Structure 1
């Protein structure tokens, strides 16, 4: 069995652009790919992405995609054995090493994907649709209802933050790096892990300054783009205790186990994944968790 997290988001149309209609976009994309298979692939120069339409939804059913992160010739893995021998892995033209995520988009503004290490994030899908289909959509992380309350209780009294980030997405705003990471360093390093804090042995009434706190929440907003881990520690203004908020554990999500694909054992059975996404959506809707969830952009409202 393969374990995956099923992570939920909110999607919205982009202001000043035509309203995003997932069913229309999926139908047009399927038609374009049927006429030219290469249309499914987009090379941004920094990353190669492919999108496959699995199902064009209806008024109440989701539109389903497979979202692929592909590796071009300069970034492909190779074979190695215990004799120390390295050899290339052979691929035919138009074949790529790939990682995949299954994405469901509902008409009501909800979106979900299965998540595991190395799977492509939804920022790839939005970029693909914008560049290839002239369709503009923004995906925003959803967090459990009490997450915002937890962050507000630490407002102005954050002691430290631990952050791990992968290489920035080409469309991510560089402004959020102004205080935390110099731009030139961010460009050189494919991944960065750091801790900012007041120190374990310093005065207990010292906290990160307001500008740094604002940068932290800016990073948290864009967690889907490049933040792979974020842990915030601060003093609760009500209790006086130092508390911890692990941002990625606060996501609106659930876990599921899937049988392996009969064709590719390292992949989960796609039909099971889409079925689990739909079932989780129904449960979260029934319990009111989607309606009460906090969107990532709301975190800056804690300031």
Structure 2
């Protein structure tokens, strides 16, 4: 069995751009791929992404896509054995090593995908659709309601934040990235990990300044795009205790296990994943968890 986390988001149209319609975009993408199979692939010079349309969707059913992170010709893994033998993995010109995420977009603005190590994130999908289809979509992480209450309690009393992020930050994040991490350092490193804080042995009544705290929350808005770890610690005046929030563990999500695909043992069975995404969506709707979830973009309105 393969373990995955099913993570939920809100999707929406981008201000100043035509409204995003998943069904229309999926239908147009399917037709374009049918006419030219290579249309499914987008190479931006740093990464190669592919998208497949599984289901167009309808008024009562989600649009289902498969999102692939591909390894280009100069970035492909090779074989090694304990005898010290190194050799290439045999692939034809049109074949790629790949990791996949299954993505469902419901008509009401909810989106979910399965997540595991190395699978592509939704920022790849938004970039693909923007560049290949001239269609603009934004994704907003959803967090559990109780996490928002914890953050409100920390407002003005944040002690430290630990952040790990990849180099491939979205275009809109440059200002935030440049504030919290030096621009000339961040762009040279494939990943960045840092801690901002007052120190374990410093005065207990010292906290991060308001501007830094604002940037921390701004970064949290985009956490699912390029932040791989984010832990916030702050004092709750109501309890006088330092509390810890692991932001990526607080997203609206559910853990699931899937049978292996019959043809690819390292890939979960696609039909099972899409069924599980839809079942989790319906359960969260019944329980009111989607309605009560906190949008990432609202976290800076924490007061």
State whether structure 2 residue 187 is matched by structure 1 residue 183: no
Query: How many angstroms does 1:172 deviate by?
Result: 4.1
1:169 touches 1:226 (CA, 8 Å); kept in 2?
yes
* Aligned counterpart, 1:95: 95
* Aligned counterpart, 2:2: 2
Query: How many angstroms does 1:214 deviate by?
Result: 1.2
> What TM-score comes out, normalization by structure 1 length?
0.98
Cα deviation, 1:14-67, whole Å, max 9, x if unaligned, reads 112111110010011001101100000011112111000000101010000000
Moved over 4 A (4+): none
State whether structure 2 residue 287 is matched by structure 1 residue 278: no
> Secondary structure of the equivalent of 2:112?
strand
1:102 touches 1:270 (CA, 8 Å); kept in 2?
yes
Query: How many angstroms does 1:162 deviate by?
Result: 0.9
Distance 1:83 1:164, change over 3 A: same
Q: In structure 2, how many angstroms separate the alpha carbons of the residues matched to 1:96 and 1:215?
A: 38
Cα deviation, 1:147-182, whole Å, max 9, x if unaligned, reads 111101001111111111112235242111233210
**Range 255-264 or range 84-93, more displaced:** 84-93
* Aligned counterpart, 1:83: 83
Q: Which structure 1 residue ranges, 5 or more long, are not aligned? A: none
* Aligned counterpart, 1:233: 233
Cα deviation, 1:208-266, whole Å, max 9, x if unaligned, reads 11111111111111112110110100000211110001101110000000000010000
* Aligned counterpart, 1:213: 213
* Aligned counterpart, 2:51: 51
1:179 touches 1:211 (CA, 8 Å); kept in 2?
no
* Aligned counterpart, 2:254: 254
- What pairs with 1:1-303 in structure 2 (closer than 5 Å)? 1-302=1-302
2:123 touches 2:170 (CA, 8 Å); kept in 1?
no
Q: In structure 1, how many angstroms separate the alpha carbons of the residues matched to 2:155 and 2:113?
A: 31
Distance 1:71 1:170, change over 3 A: farther
1:71 touches 1:96 (CA, 8 Å); kept in 2?
yes
**Range 272-281 or range 177-186, more displaced:** 177-186
Q: In structure 2, how many angstroms separate the alpha carbons of the residues matched to 1:208 and 1:27?
A: 49
1:172 touches 1:225 (CA, 8 Å); kept in 2?
no
Q: Which structure 2 residue ranges, 5 or more long, are not aligned? A: none
RMSD: 1.0
> What TM-score comes out, normalization by structure 2 length?
0.98
